Amino acid sequence: MRTIVYADGGCDPNPGPGGWGVVIQAPGGTVELCGGERATTNNRMELTAAISALEHFPEGASIEMRCDSQYVVKSVTEWMRGWKARGWRTATGPVKNVDLMQRLDALASARDVRWTWVRGHAGEAGNERADRLAAQGRREALTGVKSTASSAAASSSSSSATASASAATSATISAPSAPSPVQKTTPVALPSDLVGALTRAADRAGTTPQALLEEALRLALDLGPAGIARARQDFSSRKAS
């Protein structure tokens, strides 16, 4: 039985900041992956999505890879054999994105992959979710606020929360480590002004926004609601004096 995987990527503008997203419909539950780069292209993000999906699986795994990029699907199923025979060259010159193409070829060759093209933005749930994850990855690349792990175990509630937070910048906060190799995360929407303040504070502290956010959350959990209220009151008193 093949595991169904959706992979998607994109840039806005192209070239420019981009992101990629993956939805793996695994027997034990849905796994989501995303990431991004500040300066890239649409095709590189599409390829990176497929590569990241394949890297999740061991050699020999049976997968159905569903992509809305004909560039990715046709590269593997139609063009790649000829490129390799010509030393990774096309009829007009070197293969574009050859570094990613070679990585994709190596991963796909070691796995049993069925490549399926799906029409983008046509209502297929896995593809739509992968598209939203790609947008999340792009936002994370732009803001610098990202998960310490690149994967998440999805739930219907977290998917709905992420989809409804289109006006906010999304940060993914890692949960405590678990025996599973896939670390569970929870998407949390942050207002853009808070993300900006977090980024500036992290720069002043010489740390990353993610590390500063995690430390603040741990402190807040240790203090509890009553402790937070006392700390706010003490801070306000010192500020007024």
Catalytic-labelled residue, pool 68, 128, 137, 140: 68
Rounding to the nearest 10 degrees, give the CA dihedral for residues 227, 228, 231, 233.
-110
Question: Long-range contacts for 172-180 (Cβ within 8 Å, ≥24 apart)?
Answer: 172/136, 172/140, 172/146, 172/147, 173/147, 173/213, 173/214, 173/217, 174/147, 174/148, 174/149, 174/214
Q: Specify the 3-state DSSP secondary structure of 210.
A: helix
Catalytic-labelled residue, pool 10, 18, 36, 46: 46
The verdict on whether 68 is a catalytic residue reads: yes
Token pair of 196 as six digits: 């900006």
The verdict on whether 112 is a catalytic residue reads: no
Q: Is 112 annotated as a binding residue?
A: no
Beta strands 62-67 and 3-11: pairing type? Answer: parallel
Q: Name the DSSP class of 87.
A: T
If you write DSSP's letter for every residue of 146-200 in order, what string do you get?
A: --SSSEEE--HHHHHHHHH-TTSEEEEEEPPP-SSSSPPEEEEEE-HHHHHHHHH
The verdict on whether 78 is a catalytic residue reads: no
Q: Is 131 annotated as a binding residue?
A: yes
Catalytic-labelled residue, pool 60, 87, 121, 193: 121
CB burial of residue 69 (10 Å; 0-12, 13-18, 19+): buried
Q: Is 68 annotated as a binding residue?
A: yes
Q: Return the residue matching tokens 């993300």.
A: 195
The verdict on whether 8 is a catalytic residue reads: yes
Cβ(41)–Cβ(48) below 8 Å: no
The verdict on whether 56 is a catalytic residue reads: no
In whole angstroms, give the CA distance from residue 146 to residue 135: 13
What is the identity of the amino acid at 174?
S
Q: Is 99 annotated as a binding residue?
A: no
Residue numbering of the annotated binding site: 8, 46, 68, 131
* Binding residue positions for Mg(2+): 8, 46, 68, 131
Residues identified as active-site: 8-9, 46, 68, 121, 131
